[in-house]
Chain A
Amino acid sequence: MDVRLQAEPFDPGALLTHFCAGRSETGAVVSFTGIARASAGAVTTLELEAYPGFTDAEIARIAEAAMARFSLQDVLIVHRIGPIAPGEAIVFVAAASSHRREAFEAADHLMDYLKSRAPFWKKEHGPGGARWIEPTARDIADAERWD
Chain B
Amino acid sequence: MIRVLLFGRLSDIAGWRERPIEAPPRTLSELRAMLSAEDERLGEALAAKGVQAAIDKVIVRTDVALAAGMEVAFLPPMSGG
Nearest CB on A from B42, distance (A): 15
CB distance from A145 to the nearest CB of B (A): 15
What chain A residues lie within 8 Å of B65 (beta carbons)?
A: none
A114 vs B81: C-alpha distance when bound (angstroms): 6
Number of interface residues of B (CB under 8 A): 16
CB-contacts of B21-71 with A (<8 A): 50, 54, 57
- Is B5 an interface position by the 8 A CB rule? yes
Knowing A57-B57, A121-B8, A132-B8 are in contact, say whether A51-B75 is a contact too (CB < 8 A): yes
Total contacting residues, chain A, CB less than 8 A: 26
CA distance A118 to B59 in the complex (A): 12
Distance in Å: Cβ of B8 to nearest Cβ of chain A = 3
Chain B residues whose C-beta falls within 8 Å of the C-beta of A139 in the assembled complex = 79
Binding site for B on A (CB under 8 A): 34, 48-49, 51, 53-54, 57, 79, 90-91, 111, 114-123, 132-135, 139
Ordered by A's residue number, 27 sampled pairs between the chains whose C-beta atoms are within 8 Å are A49-B7, A49-B8, A51-B57, A53-B57, A54-B54, A54-B57, A79-B80, A79-B81, A90-B81, A91-B80, A111-B81, A114-B81, A115-B79, A115-B80, A116-B77, A116-B79, A118-B81, A119-B7, A120-B81, A121-B7, A121-B8, A121-B78, A122-B79, A123-B8, A133-B79, A135-B78, A139-B79
Interface residues of B (CB under 8 A from A): 5, 7-9, 12, 50, 54, 57, 73, 75-81
Sample of 20 more A-B contacts, CB < 8 Å, known A114-B81, A135-B79, A139-B79: A34-B81, A51-B75, A54-B73, A79-B81, A91-B80, A91-B81, A115-B79, A116-B77, A117-B78, A120-B78, A120-B79, A120-B81, A121-B8, A121-B9, A121-B76, A121-B78, A132-B12, A132-B76, A133-B79, A134-B77
